Structure 1
Amino acid sequence: MAIGLLGFQTTIAAPVTLTGIGVHSGTSVSITFQPAEAGTGIVFNRMAADGSMIELKAVSSQVGNTDLCTVLGFSPAHSVATIEHVMAAIYAYGVDNLVIEVDGAEMPIMDGSSEAFMDAFEQTGVVNLGVKRRYIRVVKPVRVESGGSWSEFRPYDGTRFEVEIDFDCPLIGRQSWKGDLTPVSFRKELSRARTFGFMRDVERLWAAGFALGSSLENSVVISDDNTVINMEGLRYHDEFVRHKTLDAVGDLALAGAQFIGCYRSYRGGHKMNANALKALLSDPTAYEVVETRSRGQQVRAREFVPVSVADFAPWTA
């Protein structure tokens, strides 16, 4: 099972800028993706109110709130919210090193999916930096549970997601998506799946200061009579579970490296994804850090060799 097209670190070929609004703040925000050197990882640079720059590395140890979205940082003045959709595109497209300059506290929601970010990376293209990429390979099962929900990592010769949701809503019900993750499969099967919500929750969220930028332009909205309000309808017949899978890809991108293994979840979400990733990374017997021995353009899991974890642990940054 192929892991990816390159066993080497990449970055984008040129800067690219996007603008939009924050789905929770409702305010306009501009972001610029900047190329970065090998070993940089994914870094968010947020412009603070006083003009200073706040640097946040996109790694598990920096994850704060995960109630409605994934937030990097631990205070409103020093954080960037709703990073999961852009992180999913970064991970799926195979971009290892990137600086994301953002002039607000939240990433733009765009159309509620990862499509605009994938378009941006395809527009600029990627550059092979000639430095070997390192991967986190799962070597034993790791599982977390909460009530009737659970998530787990399992060994697998590839990168695979198996996500199942179960909503008490006739329109959604029980749905599952299973597949190996590649740039092509993500682009075709997951990237256009939008965030979704229920009309009955809108007033409560607005009163709490959330979803102020949510609209039919960036969210699938389900009415009280269990129908989709959006004129265009659904983009996939099972768009709901596909979006939950997209979210999982983005949340697990905070490992600080691509992983080799299978991620499975039932009735999961941002918090469950974050807790599963922390459980994996906190158990040194559950994974190993590897790199390819091959100089070829396509690599397979069996062609990887272990390297020292002490020399590579970006998730602790």
Structure 2
Amino acid sequence: MDGFLPIDRTSRRTLKTAIGCVGVGLHSGRRVSLTLRPAAGGSGIVFRRTDLGIDIPARFDRVADTRLCTALVAEDAPHARIGTVEHVMAALAGTGITDALVEVDGPEVPILDGSAAPFVFLIDCAGTVALPLAAPAIQVLRPVRVTDGEAFAELLPARESGFDAALTIDFPATAIGRQHLSLRITPANFRAALADARTFTLAEEIARLRAAGLAQGGSLTNAVVVDGPLVLNPGGLRRPDEFVRHKLLDAVGDLALAGASLSGRFVGHRSGHALNNRLLRALFADRSAWAPAGTEVPADGVTSRLPAAAAPAMA
């Protein structure tokens, strides 16, 4: 690439005050309390298991499970796990929050209505405040791609400063089928296009999931359930393409575990939590594929000239 892209490094942001909610875990079925708290600039997003007194940084390298959700685990305490972090991570990223403490008194974030909208509502109620530090950002310098059969996820250099995302899904259920969405991810677009899209499942899979100990707290109040051509929820869909919108919401939350905003393009086909996490691991494993925002990248691409600074997520 020629030189480097100028990136608008906006300020870090945190909450003005603490705010919380109570709900049920989608997979555990347990009642759980969540509190969002302000944090000092540079803290990043940190999850705290208040019942265990253990903190877990919201980082891609702390992801331990991607079966139907993204779950984090503490580095030195494998019993300390927090599952279904993707929706609250998407809400924090979508509203520009870079530093916050997320307290949870159980092994899973409450599912609420199955989307990120309730978390956005909590953040709006608490208010946000700018911090006197530049928000971290990562430039994608080279294409990075991971695959699983026909499914793939990739990050590409940005055509211009910012982050664009495009995703295609393809399900046999005719109520879902093949859907595609391409979107520039901005706070306004996140709120308008993604935040209220709910998680979904196929009716035929529910018994199998529950037999495996999953979806114990699932219901028509927190998930869209599809049976062939039918949507079983009494209120129907919020949007005709709610399914691909939710999958893109998940991608925003999963990629927020980079610990910094990305300047680049995400392209996915039938990708999910596992591929999203593998994509971040592949990106940061290749030191020639990324640079901190503001780093001047040689036009000849000789990345050995780059400083050996670690990614914000690895700090």
User: Structure 2-normalised TM-score?
Assistant: 0.90
Cα RMSD, aligned residues only: 2.2
Matched, 1:148 2:136: no
Distance 1:62 1:309 in 2: 25
- Please name the residue that 1:163 is paired with: 167
After superposition, the Cα gap between the structure-2 partners of 1:15 and 1:312, relative to the gap in structure 1 and judged at 3 Å, is: farther
Query: Deviation at 1:33?
Result: 0.7
- Please name the residue that 1:99 is paired with: 101
* 1:31-110 matches, cutoff 5 A: 31-48=34-51, 52-73=52-73, 77-110=79-112
Distance 2:45 2:262 in 1: 15
Query: Deviation at 1:310?
Result: 4.4
- Please name the residue that 1:181 is paired with: 185
Distance 2:31 2:25 in 1: 7
Q: Deviations over 1:188-240 (max 9, x none)?
A: 110000000011111111111110100000000012x4300001100011000
Query: Deviation at 1:291?
Result: 4.3
Q: Deviations over 1:260-299 (max 9, x none)?
A: 001000010000101111111111111110149xxxxxxx
SS, match of residue 200 in structure 1: helix
- Please name the residue that 1:303 is paired with: none
Contact preservation (8 Å) 2:27, 2:215: yes
Opposite residue 136 of structure 1, the aligned amino acid is I
Distance 1:136 1:204 in 2: 40
Matched, 1:206 2:210: yes
How many residue pairs align between the two structures? 300
- Please name the residue that 1:304 is paired with: none
Query: Deviation at 1:316?
Result: 2.7
Distance 1:162 1:203 in 2: 32
Distance 1:105 1:112 in 2: 17
After superposition, the Cα gap between the structure-2 partners of 1:309 and 1:271, relative to the gap in structure 1 and judged at 3 Å, is: farther
Distance 1:170 1:220 in 2: 14
Contact preservation (8 Å) 2:284, 2:311: no
Distance 2:127 2:167 in 1: 30
Contact preservation (8 Å) 1:82, 1:106: yes
Distance 1:76 1:29 in 2: 20
Distance 2:35 2:215 in 1: 24
- Please name the residue that 1:254 is paired with: 257
Query: Deviation at 1:7?
Result: 1.2
Query: Deviation at 1:2?
Result: 10
Opposite residue 121 of structure 1, the aligned amino acid is I
Distance 1:291 1:27 in 2: 45
Q: Deviations over 1:13-47 (max 9, x none)?
A: 11011111000111110011110011100000002
Distance 2:92 2:310 in 1: 20
| Ranges of 4+ aligned residues in structure 1 off by more than 4 Å | 1-4, 308-312
Contact preservation (8 Å) 1:221, 1:229: yes
Opposite residue 257 of structure 2, the aligned amino acid is L
Matched, 1:192 2:196: yes
Distance 1:310 1:37 in 2: 26
Opposite residue 40 of structure 2, the aligned amino acid is E
User: Structure 1-normalised TM-score?
Assistant: 0.90
